[in-house]
């Protein structure tokens, strides 16, 4: 093994691999036994304790996102224990608890990286898309992209924070919501249920939730939403900002019509179905804006995890054993998950 320091690990491991991307009902994700990965000199080897199941994993598995690595192991919300440390790594030790997130590498040299916008780096790479992720018993991560994790949360609770939480935080920032503002949230899954709490706790926002799931509407009320309605319902007041957490492009004009003058709609997903033609006067005039959200910077992640330590978030999870990863993705696709689905190896 190339690692500078390593505990004893098995030579092979259980994992899930995308064989041929396609509809989840066709079983594109299948269990395999694979060699346990070896960390490069600048990487950590991590024993996976929990891995969140993200809608982006579904997009990779079903082919909504183009294949970057054939036969990839999905999963980019990984909480685990360091069991191997590459020879060039100085600031991590065997036994550390770390998080592995979506952003895996950037070049550090392009104009975007130099100005602090590494999320726009043309040479960026992503866990569970360009490199194998956490639907496995072990995974690697470049040490500079591993996160220190806050205390006070279980492994399963921490996992969704590493994408759902971080991306939701960036979407909240992109929405421009000011303290005490009115925030509309479309869709109420893993990311939205964390973002809503952060908006209330950190900004004292008034939150209005639009979602089609009855269970999600109940969760939204329990977490402090002022008003809850159906996915395309009109909120009782105009909104200062809105975030679309769904992959449904047809909700974009709906959300724009709900904005007050000068309001901003942030679109949080990596994949969105086609947006219908927009009507300028009713949906864009009065300086309404649409802003996309592209991944995140490491600074976003560190800022969010600091806020998560300060404001204890109620993380709603639905646990699945690693052997049921295909069922977890199918349940996510069918809107049968309340909060965040999390794979827990060994459970």
Residue 190 lies in a domain: yes
Residue 40 lies in a domain: yes
Containing structural domain, residue 17: 3-153+315-344
CA–CA distance, 129 with 18 (Å, rounded to integer): 10
**Mean pLDDT along residues 211-236:** 96
Phi-psi domain of 290 (left: phi exceeds 0; alpha: psi -120 through 50; beta: other): beta
- pLDDT of 7 reads 73
Output the CA–CA distances (angstroms, integers) from residue 95 to 48, 64, 98, 158, 258, in the order listed.
12, 37, 9, 17, 49
**60 pLDDT exceeds 90?**
yes
Q: What is the pLDDT of residues 146-170, one digit of tens each?
A: 999 999 999 999 999 999 999 999 9
Residue 92 lies in a domain: yes
Judge if 277 and 319 occupy the same domain. Answer: no
Q: Of all residues in the chain, what percent carry a pLDDT higher than 90?
A: 96
Residue 297 lies in a domain: no
Q: Which of 10, 6, 340, 5 is nearest to 194 (CA)?
A: 340
Within 10 A of 324 (CB to CB), how many other CB atoms are there?
18
User: Is the model more confident about 29 or about 269?
Assistant: 29
Judge if 87 and 46 occupy the same domain. Answer: yes
Judge if 195 and 250 occupy the same domain. Answer: yes
Judge if 147 and 169 occupy the same domain. Answer: no
DSSP 316-343: -EEEEEGGGHHHHHHHHHTT--SSEEEE
Q: Which of 67, 246, 51 is nearest to 134 (CA)?
A: 51
- Joined tokens for residue 76: 């980019």
**Mean pLDDT along residues 322-326:** 98
CA–CA distance, 33 with 58 (Å, rounded to integer): 21
CATH number at residue 61: 3.90.180.10
Q: What are residue 121's phi and psi, to 5 degrees?
A: -60, 125
Judge if 47 and 138 occupy the same domain. Answer: yes
Judge if 282 and 337 occupy the same domain. Answer: no
Asked whether the beta carbons of 251 and 231 are under 8 A apart, the reply is yes
Residue 306 lies in a domain: no
CATH number at residue 229: 3.40.50.720
**Mean pLDDT along residues 235-255:** 97
Judge if 283 and 221 occupy the same domain. Answer: yes
**3 pLDDT exceeds 70?**
no
- Joined tokens for residue 1: 């093994």
Judge if 130 and 9 occupy the same domain. Answer: yes
- Is the Cα torsion angle 230, 207, 55, 80 positive or negative in sign? negative
- pLDDT of 123 reads 97
Three-state DSSP class for residue 289 = strand
Q: Residue 239 CA to chain centroid, in angstroms?
A: 25
| Secondary structure (H, E, C), 79-92 | EEEEEEEECCCCCC
- pLDDT of 2 reads 44
Q: What are residue 283's phi and psi, to 5 degrees?
A: -120, -20
Mean pLDDT estimate for the chain: 96
Residue 282 lies in a domain: yes
Three-state DSSP class for residue 172 = helix
Judge if 140 and 10 occupy the same domain. Answer: yes
Residue 250 lies in a domain: yes
Judge if 81 and 55 occupy the same domain. Answer: yes
**1 pLDDT exceeds 80?**
no
- Overall number of domains in the chain: 2
Q: What is the pLDDT of residues 71-100, one digit of tens each?
A: 999 999 999 999 999 999 999 999 999 999
**Mean pLDDT along residues 244-266:** 97
- pLDDT of 346 reads 81
Residue 159 lies in a domain: no
Burial 106-133 (b: 16+ CB within 10 A, else e): beeebebbeeeebbebeebbbbbbebbb
Judge if 199 and 321 occupy the same domain. Answer: no
Q: What is the pLDDT of residues 283-323, one digit of tens each?
A: 999 999 999 999 999 999 999 999 999 999 999 999 999 99
Judge if 29 and 149 occupy the same domain. Answer: yes
CA dihedral angle for residue 59, residue 63, residue 65, residue 66, rounded to 10 degrees: 160
- pLDDT of 6 reads 65
- pLDDT of 4 reads 62
- pLDDT of 230 reads 97
């Amino acid at each position: 093994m190339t690692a500078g320091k390593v505990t004893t690990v098995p030579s092979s491991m259980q994992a899930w691999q995308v064989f041929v991307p396609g509809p989840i009902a066709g079983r594109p994700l299948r269990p395999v036994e694979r060699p346990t990965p070896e960390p490069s000199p600048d990487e950590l080897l991590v024993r996976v304790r929990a891995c969140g199941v993200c809608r982006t994993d579904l997009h990779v598995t079903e082919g909504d996102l183009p294949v970057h690595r054939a036969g990839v192991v999905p999963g980019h919300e990984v909480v685990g224990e360091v069991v191997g440390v590459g020879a060039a790594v100085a600031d991590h030790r065997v036994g550390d608890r770390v998080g592995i997130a979506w952003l895996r590498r950037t070049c550090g040299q392009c104009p975007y990286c130099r100005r602090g916008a590494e999320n726009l780096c043309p040479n960026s790479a992503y866990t569970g898309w360009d490199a194998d992720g956490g639907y496995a018993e072990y995974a690697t991560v470049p040490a500079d992209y591993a996160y220190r994790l806050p205390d006070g949360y279980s492994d399963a609770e921490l996992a969704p924070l590493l994408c759902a939480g971080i991306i939701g935080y960036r979407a909240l920032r992109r929405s421009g919501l000011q303290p005490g503002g009115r925030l509309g949230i479309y869709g109420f899954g893993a990311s939205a249920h964390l973002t809503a709490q952060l908006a209330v706790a950190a900004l004292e926002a008034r939150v209005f939730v639009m979602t089609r799931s009855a269970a999600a509407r109940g969760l939204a009320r329990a977490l402090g939403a002022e008003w809850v309605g159906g996915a395309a319902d009109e909120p009782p007041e105009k909104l200062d900002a809105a975030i679309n957490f769904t992959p449904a492009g047809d909700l974009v004009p709906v959300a724009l019509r709900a904005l007050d003058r000068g309001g901003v709609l942030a679109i949080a997903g990596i994949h969105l179905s086609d947006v219908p033609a927009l009507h300028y006067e009713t949906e864009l005039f009065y300086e309404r804006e649409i802003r996309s959200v592209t991944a995140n910077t490491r600074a976003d992640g560190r800022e969010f995890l600091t806020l998560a330590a300060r404001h204890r978030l109620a993380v709603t999870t639905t646990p699945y054993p690693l052997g049921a990863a295909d069922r977890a993705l199918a349940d996510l696709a069918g809107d049968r998950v309340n909060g965040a689905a999390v794979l827990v190896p060994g459970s």
